[in-house]
Chains A and B, each alone.
Chain A
């Protein structure tokens, strides 16, 4: 079931008049429209849906409109055109009271530079969303403590943000969003300001938390590795347009155009594609050998050792049962296919 539906949403900074509309219809480029009308097209006729419980990554370089797009979802920025349906309600038509209540009940946001309040303690920062909702103090502090424990910050409750490292501060940002207890989480370049190693940790942690929380997450990033690592589905943006939407496997193996192709050509497939992406359906005789099975969400790089005994196929498990078979030839083919592309492009 889709929780968020974006229908033909356009955002133009500056005048959105008939001339701009006409140029948009004629598929003129962003630069051309800016030149002729001095209006900046940030998002152009975006269409996508986000399903319940999935991590939907919007990936693009700076200026691609991704940050504008996420702000259109909770209407920190008003759309110029189109409809934004969240849980069946059109956010773009709400008045300010309805919008405020809708944000309180349904949407939490995590920011690139953490956006913590320097004069509040970690605990008070975490409780901000609940404080705004006028939840009694005792209850909101209780919930906030739980959220902090969940992100591994137990014991830091009474510190101030400037006493924490960047990674820890973003954990607070995440805890603040989780404490608010909404189904939808908007994450705007949430890990981009962090060191690469910390970023990897945070990605893993987010996936870990997501396993139990099952939130609907819209995640913005400019980092393709990050997008491929955490995204159930990925939307690639260029110059305000969504150029491709698909799983990591779709985008790597079947790029929609040259832009996407140039993006993914240097990606090491084995470090991005997972066992479940290339496994074959399970056959009867594969069911016997569960002991030597490989987990479905393991990366292909992690599968090599399983073949070291000379096996050509390994059962794939999702933790409780066998759901497929991984063939060594498929692994090998996928890897060489990736390399071929790199060579022909070079």
Chain B
């Protein structure tokens, strides 16, 4: 009954029109952005693929031994994981996935940390950003693929775009939270000694918020990895594509192995970004 009285707003059409309008109006931004980003990513992929797997694995193991709490076991496990990926013929796809994840995480961080800082400084900006971040995180990730394709065509770049929207919120939130949670006495100490607001930010707030910010970056990377499979639906190369194609062919074995590759990559990246020493 009630339906008869509601106006049945043409919301679907509005959104479609809005996205078309964005696409055509800002094409002068999207097109060059697409070509720049994709050429950068291709260069990264070429470089990483150029490194022989043996050396690549050795470098990862050495870095793991140095940074992961200086434990040899971490290095050995990382090495075994990488060897498994190589053995299963997933190496090139792994490199593509790694590039996709690193680039989108990098973009999330360079945009997310400043946004988080701004949020920590203004209650108003925080109030505006919070629902937007909720929206970004809870909207099913598939939905972002549609405008991403409209803006950037298919391939890596729309994948990065969708990953960015889905994975940036933790960095933004935890930067804001990390700065807001700083003990007020430490902020008073900073002010009492006459810091400029830039000195306060760089010498006091960011170092004190670092553990929180790092947790946010870690979460961002993990979310970006989880977007990999979804991004493969719009032609992003990588391990996700193997998972997707095996899903379409009901090929359990291939799907599982490719999925395992993502898990191994995730664990290695996670340990690298998580186990920074806390002074």
* A interface residues (Cβ-Cβ under 8 A, vs B): 71, 74, 76, 100-104, 107-109, 111-113, 115, 117-119, 128-129, 131-133, 160, 180, 186
Contacts and interface: CB of A to CB of B under 8 A. Distances in A.
Contacts of A101: 194
A22 B130 CA distance: 42
Interface string B131-152: 0000000000000000000000
Contacts of A103: 191-194
Contacts of B194: 100-104, 129, 132-133
6 contacts: A76-B188, A108-B192, A108-B193, A119-B207, A128-B193, A160-B279
Contacts of A76: 188, 191-192
Given A118-B279, A119-B279, A111 B193 contact: no
A180 B194 CA distance: 11
B248 interface: no
A108 B193 CA distance: 6
A115 B195 contact: no
A290 to B, nearest CB: 47
Contacts of B191: 76, 103
A115 B189 contact: yes
B196 interface: yes
Contacts of A129: 193-194
B193 A117 contact: no
Given A76-B188, A180-B193, 13 more contacts: A100-B196, A103-B193, A104-B193, A104-B194, A109-B188, A111-B185, A115-B183, A115-B189, A119-B210, A128-B203, A129-B194, A131-B203, A132-B199
A40 to B, nearest CB: 18
Contacts of A180: 193
Contacts of B189: 109, 111, 115, 128
Contact of B192 (A74, A112, A133): A74
A177 to B, nearest CB: 9
B193 A115 contact: no
B255 to A, nearest CB: 45
A218 B210 CA distance: 34
8 smallest CB-CB distances across A and B, nearest first, come from A104-B194, A115-B189, A103-B194, A109-B192, A129-B193, A115-B185, A100-B194, A119-B207
Given A109-B192, A132-B195, A132-B199, A117 B208 contact: yes
A213 B199 CA distance: 29
The CB with the most chain B CB atoms within 10 A, among A71, A101, A111, A180, is that of A111
A101 B194 CA distance: 7
B160 to A, nearest CB: 33
Contacts of A112: 185
A131 B207 CA distance: 15
Given A118-B279, A132-B194, A111 B199 contact: no
Interface string B62-93: 00000000000000000000000000000000
A133 B193 CA distance: 9
